[in-house]
Amino acid sequence: MSSIFVLVDDKHVPLYRVMWIADTPHFCGNEDCTCEGMYEVRLEGDDSVWATRPERDNVLKAVEAWHNGQERDQQDWD
Ligand SMILES: [Zn+2]
């Protein structure tokens, strides 16, 4: 059973709010940057959450499973 939420950085993020997911870890060279080495998960509305590598992979899998589930639902209606 796939959920519509995925857990990133202690936040349950609704999958439909995810715009894109970073392929490479964040690096900006800023001394007080707290997201160095984290993967950005961009959300609707100019919002971002920061994921560890396993979390990032988990988000990718969850979005894919969610999308596949939606396609199956649509086929059921035909
Ligand atoms: Zn930074």
pLDDT digits (tens, 9 = 90+) for 2-45: 689 999 999 999 999 999 999 999 999 999 999 999 999 999 99
β-bridge partners, 11: 8
Residue 2: the pLDDT is 63
State the DSSP code for 32.
T
Phi, psi of 60 (to 5 degrees): -55, -45
What CATH number is given to the structural domain containing 52? 2.40.50
**Å from CA of 71 to ligand 1 middle:** 37
Q: How many domains does the chain have?
A: 1
d(CA 78, CA 71): 11
Dihedral (CA of 61, 67, 69, 71) sign = negative
Distance in Å, CA 78 to ligand 1 centroid: 47
How many angstroms separate the alpha carbon of residue 30 from the centre of ligand 1? 6
Structural domain that includes position 40: 5-27+34-77
CA of 43 relative to ligand 1 center, distance in Å: 17
